[in-house]
Amino acid sequence: MPDMPTYAIARTAKLASVPVTHAGRRAVIAGTRIGGGDSQAALIRAQRRTAEQLFTVLGTLKGGAMKFGQVLSVLEAALPEELVAPYRESLTKLQDSAPPMSAKSVNQQMVKSLGTEWRGKFQEFSDVPSAAASIGQVHRAIWHDGREVAVKIQYPGAAKAVMSDLNQVARMGNIFAFAFPGIDLKALLAELKLRVAEELDYLHESKVQRKFAVAFDGHKDFFVPHVLSAAKEVVITEWVEGKSLARIIESGTQDERNLYGRLYLRFLLSGPRIAGLMHADPHPGNFRVMPDGRLAVFDFGASAELPDGLPLAMGTLLRVSMNNDSAGIEAGLRAEGFIRPGISIDPEALRDYLSPFTEPAQVSVFKHTREWLREQFARTSDPRNPDWAIGLKINLPPNYLLIHRVWLGSIGVLCQLEAEFSVIDEFKEWVPGFQDENAVS
């Protein structure tokens, strides 16, 4: 069974190391001020070092600490690459190397969810998992009616460890307020705990997946596997053959990259209108190209309920940003809660900071590249650039938590794909408030 940490003392000690060193940094700042030194420079250095430590500690713990770290990582563009690279590497290792549960643990989880005679529900069941992740693993099996199925089983103790971590992180609020002064941590954590609780509840996930499956049933471009059976820690769905989007990133042709990059973005943007929901885990491993060319979508544990579709303000802000209306951008972001009361911000720097969101829609066809993405991050990672400070001042409203996660995540995946297509056409079709005013000549 994988090491899903439930050892409270050891985990608390790791998290507690952050406030101890943080207090030392605050003392250095005070000493610099008293001694007549550059206290502002000392403050920036301390914020960077505290953020670095936060990323490192959160990235080396599984469970809720890692979940919070993943959400906080949307701010990584505000930090130098050398600081966030180890954090990113820690997350990658955790996600890619989760050891499988023993056959005994698998049986215990299946008995708990489906009863002692659970094997009778299957014609065949492989005890060897076909995939493993941070809170569960997937087994391939043959259902009693002969259909191939995927059986996702949650690790024992996962829910307890995750929620315990989030409660511990909540007690470190003043540390996050220091490292990221624009963030309303209390509201962000409250929303995150709700979303993570849903992600841990496979019954909830199955309900969401059923809604998506019905909404996209028969769609010419997308396929969502139907759920056959579900319990709180086990969910059984149709098995899907195909090639992961990650393989397209590795070795796909340019035509494949363009086509599936466009379909990938279209699914994420169209979900709120078609299903009233947004798929909120845009990792390429959750998307698979089927033999018939459709894009299959998996893992609905993280989702945003948007019964009225994407927020109208989202398209409006994009439009205002593209029109270079700096004052309008600031006013709109303040109205939506992205800039907290009392936080001063340079409107021109704010407009530049938002360019990764608007630049792809400034032209009729946009080429996503790693080089372009690195340039955007370089702009926001240099403390000498005004954009660097903007990242520390931007707040993430709770109702935008998952939307923001999807937006940033999708930009990263599209640049990995190096996909070239008309982003503006997708925005016009699926982002309310964007309208046709942005037509490119």
Residue 145 among the catalytic residues: no
Q: Which two tokens stand for residue 284?
A: 């390429």
Helix, strand, coil % over all residues of the chain, rounded to 5: 60, 10, 30
d(CA 162, CA 164): 5
Per the listing, tokens 């180890």 go with 86
Q: What one-character DSSP code corresponds to residue 286?
A: G
How many alpha carbons fall within 13 Å on the CB side of residue 43?
11
- Catalytic pick from 281, 352, 387, 436? 281
The residues, ordered by sequence, that sit 6+ positions from 46 with a Cβ below 8 Å of its Cβ are: 25, 26, 28, 29, 178
d(CA 13, CA 60): 13
Q: What's the length of the chain?
A: 441
Answer whether 289's CB lies under 8 Å from 283's CB.
no
d(CA 200, CA 233): 8
- Sequence letter at residue 274: I
DSSP-assigned beta bridge partners for residue 153: 137, 234
DSSP string across 302-369: SEEE-TT-S-HHHHHHHHHHHTT-HHHHHHHHHHHTSS-TT----HHHHHHHTHHHHGGGSSSSEE--
d(CA 310, CA 320): 17
- CA–CA distances in Å: residue 3 to residues 32, 62, 184: 43, 9, 32
Residues with catalytic function: 281
